[in-house]
Structure 1
Amino acid sequence: MSRRVLVLAHTGREESLRAAWDACTQLHASGLIPVLQKSELADVERFFGALDNPIGILHEEVSLEDVELVMVLGGDGTILRAAELVRDVDVPLLGVNLGHVGFLAESERADLAQTVEWIASRDYSVEERMTIDVQVWVRGQKIWHTWALNEASIEKANRERMLEVVTEVDERPLTSFGCDGVVLATPTGSTAYAFSSGGPVVWPEVEALVIVPISAHALFAKPLVVSPRSKLAVEIMNRTDAQGVLWCDGRRSVDLPPGARVEVTRSTTPVRLARTHKTPFSARLVRKFELPIHGWRGPAPHSEDVNTGPTPIIRTFTPAPLPSPRDAGPGDQADPTKAK
């Protein structure tokens, strides 16, 4: 059976169109069948002409269930768009970074040919990233239900008005404060909006949820890391008529009137990311954020590998005890008649 790879690109940029053209050509050369969405195929052919080899068209000739993998050409935003596309099917995503940081991407544009080779030889692993389920309630009725890979961010709708919110963990109120917003993030999203708002970086294999206030006017409004089994909620208080807006992964939004309630729990459907490198997450942090590591000496050698010789015996000197009054001679005793 022919193996099909969906190529998804940010076709609004010429660099992405060129990368899509190159990817399709190299996939063909490796014996794979590239698949494009009809609109993206039209964009590529408008710039570079018709491709020399046949291309599968998604939803017309090929369904998502027939695709082995999605090769995403772009930044994190393009990968989030791809995650939406494959939400209901068990297809992994492999990102090739054409953006700035590209934290979700696995390789860079210069590694495109090597990436195609890894796909052709199935030399990649797949890891699951936790997602969140997001519900919005207004006056006791659910008005919105969606999901997110990175975060659900509650933000103020008007620049001049601050939001008054109260946070909740496991159906118990935690604290209320005025703020510009609150980010409810996954470990994957801890390096995105939550990170820029002052939240902690959480390793992807750590199962947790993160709460990060944005510009809060309160003493106890610090980032929190809670259990992935917890139920988080943020309520827009009725003290003012300030409006809010909820964004999920920066792609889907809904207005939040005063009194609205946002509930977040762990979703049962993860996003699957293909990995071709086995580098630790700490190395990814250093590379993506260009962190300074000059002067690093590395871990100390194991004790069994170092011959230190016998342990020296250190002898200590114990001073003689001071004489007690009972040991004093007759001439040393005090005259009781001189005592006052």
Structure 2
Amino acid sequence: MRDNEGRRVLVIAHTGRADAREVASRFCKAVIGHGLAVRLLADEAVDVDVPGVERAGSVDDAAADCEIAVVFGGDGTLLRAAEITREHGTPLLGVNLGHVGFLAEAEHDDVESTISAVVNRRYAAEERLTLDVRVFRDKELVATTWALNEASVEKAARERMLEVVVEIDGRPLSRWGCDGVVCATPTGSTAYNFSAGGPIVWPDVEALLMVPISAHALFARPLVVSPTSVLAVEVLERNEGAGVLWCDGRRTVELPPGARIEVRRHRQPVRLARLHQAPFTDRLVAKFDLPVTGWRGAAERRRRGGGLDA
């Protein structure tokens, strides 16, 4: 325990769920028992109710001096945690209590192995590309924000299409009447981008994605471009209604006719902690429950004793 002095773990939980409170409480007690300090957000500390935890003075500084942040909840909780940890470079370790939980590394029944991994520092951190998002009106910068998964420009009124012109690297590409446009990262390719019909991109691929949503156009295909590219979406002046910008489903900016949204790679990535080095293919199969019965790869053939030529 003496070797763990000075080590600090941030815990973030979806405290509106009883199972998240229970698992987070069990984790905190075990980690404190190993001599590590545990910090919680002040309001969450009331719900988790574990003696001896630190309470963060502010959300902005909650991740300061923490070697890792362990998140109990679904992808929405992890996206909230990314807002807290990104500027500090604190790696996020997600324990899934939601549905698919694509960003999570462990399931709720893995809590004992998660405790062991954190206490013994048996994890690796990988950097995930994020988006820098800027909104202009009459050429004036009026809002800046960021996203880990996606920045989506959407129509504000259900009964009206949104008329937009899209641009890549300063050159106009096409005009769409649509429900919206998703600009995504490889991390977000399995989120809104996936639902909109965009491609799944392996997370170690550096790229930006643009996918129209229900576009009324002959050319309305998903696009994968360089990570150094700048994507732009202009809301045409002739729109009768406004649009809205959503970043990770959490941060919004109203978009009146004439607004321009620019999306590029952000200088500050998000760091995700990994306990396992399993291929991303295996993660896809597990998370989407993909049918692979009948596969007879080399490793499987060797396991069955059939040899490489069986």
Task: Please state whether the residue corresponding to 1:65 is helix, strand or coil.
Answer: coil
CA distance in 2, matches of 1:71, 1:137: 36
Amino acid at match of 1:180: D
CA distance in 1, matches of 2:235, 2:162: 7
Deviation at 1:18, TM superposition (A): 0.8
Partner residue of 2:152?
153
CA distance in 1, matches of 2:231, 2:238: 21
Partner residue of 2:75?
76
Partner residue of 1:293?
292
Where do 1:231-250 residues align within 5 Å? 231-250=230-249
CA distance in 1, matches of 2:52, 2:247: 37
Where in structure 1 do 4 or more consecutive aligned residues deviate above 4 Å?
A: none
Give CA-to-partner distance per residue, 1:282-305, whole Å, 9 cap, x none.
000000011111111114989xx9
Of residues 35, 54, 58, the one that matches 2:39 is: 35
Partner residue of 1:113?
112
CA distance in 2, matches of 1:161, 1:292: 39
Residue 30 of structure 1 contacts residue 117 of structure 1 at CA under 8 Å; is this kept in 2? no
Residue 10 of structure 2 contacts residue 62 of structure 2 at CA under 8 Å; is this kept in 1? no
Where do 1:153-172 residues align within 5 Å? 153-172=152-171
CA distance in 1, matches of 2:237, 2:42: 47
Q: Is 1:4 aligned to 2:8, yes or no?
A: yes
CA distance in 1, matches of 2:298, 2:168: 39
Deviation at 1:59, TM superposition (A): 2.2
Residue 166 of structure 2 contacts residue 232 of structure 2 at CA under 8 Å; is this kept in 1? yes
Partner residue of 2:19?
15
Task: Please state whether the residue corresponding to 2:86 is helix, strand or coil.
Answer: coil
Give CA-to-partner distance per residue, 1:12-49, whole Å, 9 cap, x none.
1111111111111111222222111111111223xxxx
Residue 125 of structure 2 contacts residue 273 of structure 2 at CA under 8 Å; is this kept in 1? yes
Partner residue of 1:322?
none
Q: RMSD between aligned alpha carbons?
A: 1.8
**Bigger shift: 14-23 or 108-117?**
14-23
Of residues 47, 51, 57, the one that matches 2:55 is: 57
Provide the identity percentage.
58
Give CA-to-partner distance per residue, 1:180-235, whole Å, 9 cap, x none.
00000000000000000000000000000000000000010110100000010000
TM-score (norm: length of structure 1) = 0.85
Residue 132 of structure 1 contacts residue 147 of structure 1 at CA under 8 Å; is this kept in 2? yes
CA distance in 2, matches of 1:41, 1:204: 33
Task: Please state whether the residue corresponding to 2:64 is helix, strand or coil.
Answer: helix
Give CA-to-partner distance per residue, 1:217-260, whole Å, 9 cap, x none.
00101101000000100000122322100000000001101110
Amino acid at match of 1:205: D
Amino acid at match of 2:149: N
Partner residue of 1:48?
none
Where do 1:194-209 residues align within 5 Å? 194-209=193-208
Residue 149 of structure 1 contacts residue 249 of structure 1 at CA under 8 Å; is this kept in 2? yes
Give CA-to-partner distance per residue, 1:89-127, whole Å, 9 cap, x none.
121100000000000000000001110100111110000
TM-score (norm: length of structure 2) = 0.93
CA distance in 2, matches of 1:72, 1:137: 34
CA distance in 2, matches of 1:63, 1:102: 24
CA distance in 2, matches of 1:101, 1:94: 16
CA distance in 2, matches of 1:306, 1:147: 49
Deviation at 1:63, TM superposition (A): 5.2
Task: Please state whether the residue corresponding to 2:194 is helix, strand or coil.
Answer: helix
Structure 1, unpaired ranges of 5+: 46-50, 308-340
